[in-house]
Structure 1
Amino acid sequence: MALGRQVDLRFLAEPMHVNFGGKVHGGIVMKWIDQAAYACAAGWSRSYCVTVSVGAIKFGHPILVGQVVELSAKVIHTGKTSMQILVTVKAGDPKSGALGYTNHCIITFVATDGQGNLIEVPKWEPKTKKDKILEQYALEMKAFSLEIEKKYDIFE
């Protein structure tokens, strides 16, 4: 079976997912994002994967109870042992089928063996113009994150 580059999850937002404002809780959305990204990374690498970092998550539009939620996770860059996974979240009325953008982020995973040691991942090569732009986005986000951490050096 070929390695899958993309994983799509769909389900309904339930009452247990809401916050005090009646919208789906941001922490729940973050959990869904991590789960979709993990499924994608594990499928691509065919190994257990560990989250290394989560890029900035900006919540654009709320998700409401009863809406269909769709998370699309796909590999947009691979290193030697790491993978950057873009997760896009959409939601909408299940009766109309129209889904609108709610948020996105990039999550970096590393692949590990049974003892927790890093292992190499299959190389992903962008082919389309959009894939090349997404890979450049991942690389620039990674570089920015490293630069800002180095600049402030406040974490032990």
Structure 2
Amino acid sequence: MAGIDRQITLRFLAEPADVNFGGKVHGGAVMKWIDLAAYACGAGWSGKYCITAYAGGIRFVKPIHVGNIVEVSAKVIYTGSTSMHIGLDVRAGDPKESARHLTTHCIVIMVAVDDEGKPTPVPEWIPQSDEDKALRDSAIRLMEMRKKIGAEMAAHVAP
């Protein structure tokens, strides 16, 4: 049911096919897992099919090793009229142990769309705790920064 579940955790096992030339899981595999978790979170919150509008601020903090269990936690931290800002943390560790360490963090913006692919309204998320209010405020500040960066980047893409 839309507007009820604002967070989800997906788990993956880092496989040999996910390895880069340095022997660690490559960023592309991590980004795929992030996108899958962001979709599941956005679709769960909105009750609609969602598309990725933005993925940014990705920070690769520590490497992920083959054989690690990888947990990608996603939660809605801000909603617009048709968009959801989703904060994601990636944690990994030995599956035989309970400890997981933070490896990656980022924000993804998902947009709910209707059957014709047009943006469609999402339920509003209203933060209750101080921590959630801080996350919402951070999402709003990041949105303002992205607008400024977009204006600067326009000079690089304009013919």
Which consecutive residues of structure 2, in runs of 5 or more, have no partner in the other structure? none
- Give the whole-Å Cα distance in 1 for the aligned partners of 2:94 and 2:28: 22
Partner residue, 1:26: 27
Structure 1, residues 120-155: CA drift from partner, whole Å, max 9, x if none?
Answer: 000000011111111111111111011122134223
In structure 1, the partner of 2:134 is 133
Q: Which residue of 1 aligns with 2:9?
A: 8
What is aligned with 2:99?
98
Structure 2 partner of 1:50: 51
CA separation in 1, counterparts of 2:27 and 2:63? 9
Give the whole-Å Cα distance in 1 for the aligned partners of 2:13 and 2:117. Answer: 35
Structure 1 distance, partners of 2:82, 2:97, is 42
Per-residue CA deviation, residues 63-121 of structure 1 (Å, 9 max, x unaligned), is 00011100000000001111001110000111121000001111011111001111100
Residue of structure 2 in register with 1:75 after alignment: 76
Aligned length: 156
Structure 2 match to 1:41 = 42
Q: Distance in 2 between matches of 1:77 and 1:133?
A: 10
Percentage of identical aligned residues: 53
TM-score (normalised: structure 1)? 0.96
**For the residues of structure 2 that align with 1:118 and 1:12, how far apart are their CA atoms?**
34
The code of the aligned residue for 1:145 comes to: R
Runs (4+) of structure 1 exceeding 3 A deviation are none
Distance in 2 between residues matched to 1:110 and 1:121, nearest whole Å: 9
Amino acid at match of 2:65: L
Q: Distance in 1 between matches of 2:47 and 2:153?
A: 36
Q: Residue 18 of structure 1 aligns to which amino acid in structure 2? A: V
